[in-house]
Homo-oligomer: A and B are copies of this chain.
Amino acid sequence: MIIIGELINGTRKKIAKAIADRDEACIGDLAKRQAEAGASFIDCNPGTVGEDEIRDIQWLIETVQAVTDVPISFDTPNSVALQAAFGAYENAATPMINSITAEQERLDEMLEFVAQSGANIVALALSDAGMPASADDRVETSLRLIDTLTGAGVALDRIFVDPVIAPLSTDATCGCAVLEAVRTIRQQRPEVHITCGLSNMSYGLPERKLLNRVFVAQGIAAGMDSAIMDPLDAQMMATICAAEAVAGRDEWCMNYIQASRDGKLTQ
């Protein structure tokens, strides 16, 4: 499972303050703990706009790469901030762009840069029609994005398609639709990565972590191999380990048994 650690996000109050205060200890600690917990990428979302966003994402990248070699996910819709992020990035490991969408104007603006960057890319199944309404919508937009990216020279295994989760509290069919989309995309493009912003599923509902865990187990069975999530959630990490064993991605359950010996599965 390729985990994109979501905790350094300036839309969270505590993180916004740490960014504004240039609190290296807070951000560095959060980066290190996510890396130690198993994050494959550390997402950095400044949560600001304009000139601030450019300065903030550069500072976040400098701060995170000072404490860990785990590659960074540049989380901004702003193409100028994105280019600044690449300018600040000095790590050898290939970073992630989070994200591009199928919204035509934004795609036209970003495609060439994104393709030539050599980075991994989260490709969000949002089009000019807005949020996808069905499994078919998700599949159609995802495949169109994948084909556009590969047409521009991006290898399939650099693409992390995200079929877009809506809150279950507003759309009871969203869980089924996303899982069906994941299965279809996995069948039609076996080599692409499939990720999700997991916690969107449970927005507005109680016991959110329980719903997120249930969904990750179902998503892994459907063919998801990545998630944008909190790697410090030990129960979630244990669920992923078990789901990979059940999905046959852990021969003889060796990882699962080792995780148990390491005390990582205790609930």
Interface on A for B, CB 8 Å cutoff? 168-169, 172-173, 175-176, 179, 201, 205-207, 209-211, 213-215, 217-218, 220-222, 235, 238-239, 242-243, 245-248, 250-253, 256-257, 260, 265-267
How many copies, total?
Answer: 2
Expressed in whole angstroms, the minimum distance between the Cβ of A151 and any Cβ of chain B is 33
State in angstroms the CA–CA spacing of A209 and B242 once bound together: 10
23 CB-based A-B contacts, threshold 8 Å: A169-B252, A172-B248, A172-B250, A176-B246, A176-B247, A201-B246, A205-B245, A205-B253, A205-B256, A205-B257, A207-B242, A207-B265, A207-B267, A209-B267, A210-B242, A211-B245, A213-B217, A214-B217, A214-B242, A214-B246, A215-B246, A218-B246, A267-B267
Whether the Cβ atoms of A245 and B168 lie closer than 8 Å is yes
- Give Cα A210–Cα B237 distance, bound, in whole angstroms: 12
Of A217, A246, A250, chain B has the most CB atoms within 10 Å of the CB of A246
Whether the pair B235, A267 counts as a contact (CB closer than 8 A) is yes
Residue in chain B with minimal CB distance to A211:
B242
Chain B residues with Cβ below 8 Å from A267 are: 207, 209-210, 235, 267
A136 to chain B, nearest CB (A): 16
Given contacts A179-B221, A205-B257, 5 further A-B contacts (CB under 8 A): A169-B253, A172-B250, A172-B253, A207-B238, A210-B242
